[in-house]
Amino acid sequence: MKVIRTEGLTKRFGRITAVDGVGLDVREGDVFGFLGANGSGKTTTVRMLLGLVLPTSGTVEVLGEPMPARRASVLPQVGALVEGPAAPPHLSGRRHLALLDAAGPGSRRTGRAGRVDDALEQVGLGGVDRRPVRTYSLGMRQRLGLAAALMRRPRLLVLDEPTNGLDPAGIQEIRRLLLDLNAAGTTVLVSSHLLSEIERTCTRVGVLHAGRLVLQDDLASVCGPTGLLVVDTPDPHLAARLLVGRVEAVDGERLLVRDQDAASVNAALVGAGVPVRSLHAQRRSLEDVVLDATSRQAIA
């Protein structure tokens, strides 16, 4: 089942085309990484998914229903963090969550305090006292925003830069939380600049460049092995002579060898007396993928 599907999604602000013909495809159980440079249109796309901004053209379906037409039935199943958290500065975090919960439809009073406590616990704000949000640190606000998104145990989480302002331990904590939620069946769409974070958490990625979706694929296939071996040796000349015809490039003491079988290459080198410091199959980094996709787009 498709959790998010857009077709030809386009948004123009006056003469600026912020989002241009985007066809997103997020499936149930995905942790979808949404990437792109500053101003590439990530937030605008997320706003359109949630019915905050209306598309100039194109269609959006979330959880199988058209948006924004069915926002009343879709949004209760979605938790979201859009361009940073927000809360009335004079309220305590706990009070803010309770009021936000009460503001929406179908919210029962019974168990509300428990739900608030659970959500705060999940994001590591369990010990938070009655201080107003005004006094919160950047990271605490971010956590409060996440708690608000988690409050109603959503089927879909849409998080725009969720780790903004978090310390390394916090980032790891949130990563673990997302993976746990995902394991429990929540589909997650997360936009970020932190490629390493996306690489570690996501199953699929989409890359936006100047409003266009230039790449959308499983992380495993875009970051798969390249079919080359990386050989690190103090004697690159000898090694190159031995593997003649298969060496793609020599970079100091590193050789790129076109071969799938690391074991036989190792045996051949060691057998010929070439010292091998390390030898492993080359994989593409997400950074390479993203840069590659965006530069190809720029040329085309």
Ligand X SMILES: Nc1ncnc2c1ncn2[C@@H]1O[C@H](COP(=O)(O)OP(=O)(O)OP(=O)(O)O)[C@@H](O)[C@H]1O
Query: Which residues of the shown chain bind other proteins in the complex (CB under 8 A)?
Result: 44, 47, 50-57, 68-69, 71-72, 75-76, 78, 80, 82, 84-90, 99-100, 102-105, 148
Indicate which single residue of 33, 36, 51, 162 sits in contact with ligand X (rule: CB under 6 A): 36
**Which of 18, 26, 40, 43 is in the footprint of Mg ion by CB under 5 A?**
43
Handedness of CA 102, 107, 112, 116 (dihedral sign): negative
Q: Among other proteins, Mg ion, ligand X, none, what binds residue 16 when CB lies within 5 to 8 Å by partner kind?
A: ligand X
- Using CB under 5 A, count the residues that bind Mg ion: 1
8 binds, among ligand X, Mg ion, other proteins, none (CB under 5 to 8 A by kind): none
Confirm or reject binding of residue 16 to ligand X (CB under 6 A). yes
Q: Which is nearer to other proteins, 4 or 219 (CB)?
A: 4
Q: Closer CB to other proteins, residue 46 or residue 265?
A: 46
Nearer to other proteins, 54 or 298 (CB): 54
Among 92, 75, 88, 202, which residue's Cα sits nearest to residue 151? 75
> Hey, what amino acid is at 90?
H
Tell me which of 41, 68, 85, 93 binds ligand X, using CB under 6 A. 41
- Distance from C-alpha of 160 to C-alpha of 82, rounded to nearest angstrom: 5
Window 166-185: residues binding ligand X (CB under 6 A):
none
Q: What b/e readout covers 2-28, taking b as 16+ CB neighbours within 10 angstroms?
A: ebbbbeebbbeeeeebbbbebebbbee
CA distance 223 to 56: 34
Furthest C-alpha separation in the chain: 77
Q: Is the dihedral angle over the CA atoms 7, 13, 14, 16 positive or is it negative?
A: negative
Specify whether the CB–CB gap between 240 and 67 falls below 8 A: no
C-beta of 66 vs 224, nearer to other proteins: 66
Q: Does the protein bind Mg ion through residue 294 (CB under 5 A)?
A: no
38 scored as a contact of ligand X (CB under 6 A): yes
3-state secondary structure of 157: strand
Nearer to other proteins, 72 or 270 (CB): 72
Binding region for ligand X (CB under 6 A): 13, 16, 18, 36, 38-44
